[in-house]
Structure formats: C-alpha cells, structure tokens
Structure 1
Amino acid sequence: MKNIEKWCKLFCRNHIAVVLSGDKTGMLLKYEQESKQITVLLTNLSFPNGVALSKDGSFLVFAETTKCRILRYWLSTPKAGNLETLAQVPGFPDNIKRSPRGGFWVAIHSRRCKVLSWILSYSKLGNALIWVLPVDVITKAYSVMSKYLGSGLALRISEEGVVLETLELESGNKMSSISEVQEKDDHLWMGSINMPFL
C-alpha cells in the first residue's frame, strides 16, 4: 500500500516528473466493489495510464507512457493473467478509449524526440533535473518543447494492435499535447491536460 501512496503522490505532483525520473513503481490494480478490496495485478510499470476494456471484456489495454507502448492484460480465456505488448507507438501515449467502430483511440501526448530519448536513457540525469529545477519550470519547458515535437496525434488501433486510422493535426495547430480522444456520434472530441482546448 505504501508503493501505491508513493506513486500517487509523485503522479499527482507532476506527470512529467514521473517520465523524467524513469520511475517504475506504477501498478495495475483491481478493485472489488463489494468487498472494497484492492488486488495488485502488475507492478514495475513505467507510468501506466489510460485503461480501457475490450468489447468482449476478455482483456484490457493500457498505456505504458514512458516506454511509448500499449500493453494488453488478459482477464479471461486461457491467457488470463498474461501481459503482452499490443503496439509500440511514436510518442507518449496518454488516455485510451474504446471506439464504437471497433478498436481503441489512443491519444499521443507528444512525440519522442532525440533529446528526450537521451535524457530517458540516463535516469540519473532525469532525476537531477527534477531536483534542480522547480516543477513549474519543468512543466513550462515541456509545454514549449512539445510545440516543436510535432503536431497533435491520435491513433485508432485494432484489438490486435494494427493501426486503423491516424489523425495528425497540421503543424502550427494549437492542438498539441492531446491527452484524450473520445468518439461519439461520428465526431471526435479531444482534450489536453496542459493546453486550453476541448
């Protein structure tokens, strides 16, 4: 339970710090509503995020944001309890929502660039940045940098991990840092955790 509290405090403080630190204390938890019991299904995850259930309920998918990938965790079938990589994506995935047309919409918060890849390959460097710079400075620098990491990106992937659709917004468009994509009534609704749009 202490790991859960530690991770929640770090995440709530600043999601960018979680990525920079190379933190691997993320977990996938199961909550039993009747008994109010929490079961830890997976540990040692790098910023797990955006859980979505498959249409038939046999598995769930979630983003492992720091590693730029989508994971599938089997809930039933003979594969129950198994974890596999469903898709490697070109940036930092955020929330995942099931599409009414099949598959899942994945919001790509920002692209992975060479500088960020280099920082992430040296967790001590990322941790040093967190200790030396105030959280507000890191967040502001990330927001400025994300404008230059490419335009907004959303992917619709199948339940097998195949990219079905790519929505890439034109450069110069203010819709970078997409953190949410929701499909409803033939429209896509997008939001951001750190940009002023819906």
Structure 2
Amino acid sequence: MIQCSVALASAVAFLAMAYPLFDRMPHPYDGVRAVEISLEMQTVINRVGSPFAFDPPFDRNERLRSATRLFEGQIHGSESVAVRPNGELVMLDKFGYLHRAHPDTNELYVLNASALYIGPGRPLGFHVVDQGAALFVCDSLKGLVRVELDGPRRGDISILANSVEGRGPISYANDLSVAANGTVYFTSSTEGVVALNAPLGFYDTMASYMLNAVRGDMTGRLLAYDPTTRQTRELMDGLFYANGVAVAPDQSFVAVVETSAYRVQRYWLTGPRSGDVDTLVEGLPGAPDGITVASDGNFWLSLIVPASPIMKYLGPYRWIRQLLSHALHILSPLVAKRWGCVVKISPAGRVIDVLYDPDGERVSMVSAVTEHEGRLFLGNLGGSFVSVLDL
C-alpha cells in the first residue's frame, strides 16, 4: 500500500511538473501553445533544399572568406549597414545604439567616437532617406520610426507607424523598402513579441524566430505606410515569419521574405496582376533573411543559417514541437550552424550567383547586404562586427 501511494504521489508530481510543457511555451510566449501547420505550408517546407549538398546552382565556393571585418569587438549585431551619399556608414546594434563611420584616406573606415541611443527595443532593418538626412528604421518595439541624422534635430525620433487600423499594434516590425512614390513597404514578422534577453540586455530576435517557427506561427504581415496620409494598410497576412522587403527597380512588385517557409514571395503592385501574390523563389538551402536591390537590377538575398530539418520532419506533430520549444536554448547552437551565404537572384527568381563561407570561418549569419560602389556591406545577426567585400 505504501509503495502504491509513493508511486502515485511520484506520478502526480511528475505530471504537475510536466504539465506546463504541454500547456504553454516558454517566455515570452507564456500561455501560448503550438498550432497546427496546414498541409499546404508543410508541402512548402518539405521542398527545402539541403544546405550541404552544394548542388547547382548552389555550387560550393569560399568567396565570402575574402571579406574584411570592420569594427570588430565594437559593433554587436547590426543587422544591416546603411551607406549615406557621402560614403559614411550607419549601423544600429542589437542594444539600440546608432554608430557612424566615415571613410578615411589612411584607413578603411574610422568609427565615430559617440553613439546615439535610440532604444529601448531592437532596431532591425533600416535605410537612409532624404539624401542621407535621416533613417527609416523597423524597431522591434516601436514599429516604423524615423531617426534624424543631421541638423538641429539630430537624434530626434518620430514614430511613423506602430499600429494598423482594425488589427492592433505592430509588435515585431522587421524590415522595409521605400518605393519611388515614397510609400514605405515593411513587414511585421509575427503578432507575437520579441524575446528579451534580460541578462545580456538585448532583444533576442534569433530566439524569437526559432520559437515562432516551432510554434507554427503564421501571423506575419506585409504593410504599406503612406507618408501623405500617414495611414498604414495591410497588404498580406498569414506569412510564416515575414522578414526582408525590397521593391523591384521597375516598381512592379515588392519582394517579401518568408523565413520559416524558406522562400521569397512577390506582391504585385502594378499591371493586370496588381494585388496578386506569387512565389519568387523557394526551396532555399538556408533560412532567408534580408533582401535588397543590386546595382544591376537583380536582388541580393542573405541566408542567415543553413536549413534545419526540424520543421520538415516535426511540422505535422504539434505536441512534439510544443515540447521542443522548451529545449531550444539547448538545441539552438546545434541547429543554427555557422555559415555565410549570399545569393543573387533575378526579378524572375533565377539564381544568378552564390557567395559562401561554408563553415563561417570569416563571415557568418549574414542578415542583410548593401551594395555600394562595387562593394558589399554585410550586416550580421550575432557577430561583433560588420563586413565588407570587394566585388
């Protein structure tokens, strides 16, 4: 009898401790459960290419190893690099500080001594506007904001859009692109929030991305901000972690990265297909992050980490993904293997060129590419530097 009571008590204690693993996800998704992934999306995920096969057109090379690291140990997690018309570099680190560096005749670039704090929150995608006088920034907490770089208002921050009528706040603004008519197309990765890494003092977008992936969260959106009316409207929803954005040079469509689906979508802006959506490229061998326009009218697409088999094999099993979410902090170093990969694709979705650092020896976790006067400036999610590569 005593043995039975002890066994029963142990079972009850185990269930009491294990119940949260089945009932909710880790912070900041307390009380949120994993959701079912549709058969249509699972089919898309199953097309993901192998990150280690290096089959054409993704032939192996080491061209990214020629990149030079800039400001090593000084710039932490700047997801992009903006270049002003005068050649000055602008970077926003993961702690919310804005850094500037000017070209020098003796050195490659010289980092300015003072940094401007625009936090709290984590600045993600950003671009120079008004001939370099300001930045438009997607901030993980504040939404779409404008930061003045020069003049008497230097350092002023204006919130352009932090909500969408009828859909509540924008809690995870990620990247943007400005059209020729001034419209700002930008993404909200998810209706969830960004995980705060309190001990290290920054908002951890990589952890948030992985939590959203295993949850099966498909609440990403493509939004459009009209600077004339100051209104924001929703163009697409249901995206599996919406990320990079780039308006095509001919303004016919806007490309939208869907990271957890390993693809890039097109939202058509003009012509008979206006308002339609189709796929630009899919089945990528790595998780796509940022997308920008190249000088020749094509696109630079950064693949931040190699493709993981987790969602391919565990996608249909919601409860396994629910349990897995509690171990991501242990598994993430194994899943997020180091590599560097930048892909050039045409407006028709054809892979034109691929640049690798196959084991991340020199460049890894490339999150965005900015091309300027024959050079590629590479932001990265986790490194303590940015990089530049001469083409």
Give the TM-score of the pair, scaled to structure 2.
Answer: 0.45
Please report the RMSD computed on the Cα atoms of aligned residues, expressed in angstroms.
2.3
Residue by residue over 1:68-108, the C-alpha shift from the partner in whole angstroms, topping out at 9 and shown as x without a partner, is 00111101111100100010122110010100122100000
Q: Does 1:160 align with 2:348?
A: yes
Structure 1 residues 194 and 40, CA gap change in structure 2 (3 angstroms)? same
How far apart are the structure 2 equivalents of 1:174 and 1:143?
A: 18
Aligned equivalents of 1:93 and 1:52: distance in 2? 13
The code of the aligned residue for 1:12 comes to V
CA distance in 2, matches of 1:67, 1:196: 28
**Could you tell me how far apart the structure 2 residues matched to 1:76 and 1:11 are?**
33
Change (3 A) 1:124 1:28: farther
Please list, as runs of the form range in 1=range in 2, the aligned pairs for 1:132-143 lying within 5 A after superposition: 132-133=326-327, 138=328, 141-143=331-333
| Pairing of 1:30-179 with structure 2 (within 5 A) | 30-88=224-282, 89-130=284-325, 132-133=326-327, 138=328, 141-147=331-337, 151-171=339-359, 173-179=361-367
Q: Any idea what the Cα deviations from partners look like across 1:152-187, whole Å, max 9, x if unmatched?
A: 111000000001110011325142221112211111
| SS in structure 1 at match of 2:194 | helix
- Rounded Cα–Cα distance in structure 2 between residues aligned with 1:117 and 1:140: 20
Higher relative contact order (Cα pairs below 8 Å, separated by 6+ residues)? 2
Identity of aligned residues (%): 28
Cα offset, 1:193, TM superposition: 1.3
After the TM superposition, which residues 5-24 of structure 1 pair with which residues of structure 2 at under 5 Å, given as runs?
A: 5=171, 10-13=192-195, 14-24=208-218
Q: Secondary structure at the match of 1:15?
A: helix
Do the aligned partners of 1:51 and 1:63 also contact (CA within 8 Å) in 2? yes
* Aligned pairs, number: 191
Partner of 1:2: 168
Equivalent pair of 2:171/2:191 in contact (CA under 8 Å): yes
Q: 1:195 to 1:142 in 2, by over 3 A?
A: farther
TM-score, length-scaled by structure 1: 0.85
Amino acid at match of 1:197: F
Identify unmatched segments of 5+ residues in structure 2: 1-166, 173-188, 196-207, 387-391
1:167 to 1:48, Cα distance in 2 relative to 1, 3 A: same
Which SS does the other structure have where 1:78 is aligned?
Answer: coil
Do residues 29 (structure 1) and 196 (structure 2) align? no
Question: Is residue 184 from structure 1 mapped to residue 360 from structure 2 by the alignment?
Answer: no
Matches of 2:380 and 2:360, distance apart in 1: 16
Cα deviation 1:38-86 (Å, max 9, x = unaligned): 2111111111111100001111101110000011110111110010001
- Offset at 1:33? 1.7
Counterpart residue identity of residue 86, structure 1:
L
Comparing 4-13 and 44-53, the one that deviates more: 4-13
User: Is the alpha carbon distance of 1:60 and 1:22 closer, same or farther for their aligned partners in structure 2, counting shifts above 3 Å?
Assistant: same
Structure 1, unmatched stretches of 5+, are: none
Label 1:45 to 1:169 Cα distance change in 2 as closer, same or farther (>3 A): same
**Cα separation, partners in 2 of 1:45 and 1:10, compared to 1, 3 Å:** same
Greater share of helix residues, 1 or 2?
1
Describe the shift of the 1:43–1:163 C-alpha distance in structure 2 as closer, same or farther (beyond 3 A): same
The 3 A distance-change label for structure 1 pair 123 and 181 is farther
1:17 Cα shift? 1.4
User: Larger C-alpha radius of gyration, 1 or 2?
Assistant: 2
